[in-house]
């Protein structure tokens, strides 16, 4: 799965990453237990600061979409996001409509 980040977009980059990952999980493009790239790798590939990607991952973890399993890496959670929040739901709808 390829994600895209547009620096010119009014949505901050971390939010763009978060929305796309949530949309991919909702569409089952990203299946449970799928391993995600490391923060450093994704930041380097997207030419973003590691803090930006780290924030996206933190928010996704708070949404219940992903989990960090120590040194093994970051994985998509087995269960569906339980607390994606109203804002995320709206954003997901926007993604689905687009």
Interacting residue ranges for other proteins, rule: CB under 8 A: 1-8, 21, 24, 30, 35-38, 40-42, 44-48, 73
Full DSSP string of 66-96: EEE-GGG-EEE-SSPPS--HHHHHHHHHHHH
Closest to other proteins by CB, 29 vs 89, is 29
Cα→Cα distances 28→1, 14, 76, Å:
11, 21, 11
Closest to other proteins by CB, 6 vs 86, is 6
Q: State in angstroms the smallest separation of the CB of 3 from other proteins.
A: 6
Q: State in angstroms the smallest separation of the CB of 35 from other proteins.
A: 5
Cα→Cα distances 30→25, 39, 42, 49, Å:
5, 17, 16, 24
Closest to other proteins by CB, 64 vs 75, is 75
Q: Could you tell me the two tokens for 77?
A: 């959670």
Q: State in angstroms the smallest separation of the CB of 46 from other proteins.
A: 5
């Amino acid at each position: 799965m390829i994600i895209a980040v547009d620096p010119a977009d009014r949505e901050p980059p971390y939010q763009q990453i978060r929305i796309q990952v949530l949309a991919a999980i909702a569409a089952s493009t990203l299946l449970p237990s799928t391993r995600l790239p490391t923060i450093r790798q994704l930041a380097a590939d997207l030419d973003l600061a590691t803090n930006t990607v780290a924030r996206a991952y933190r928010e996704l973890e708070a949404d219940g979409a992903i989990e960090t399993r120590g040194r093994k890496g970051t994985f998509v959670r087995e269960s569906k996001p339980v607390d994606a929040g109203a804002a995320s739901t709206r954003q997901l709808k926007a993604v689905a409509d687009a």
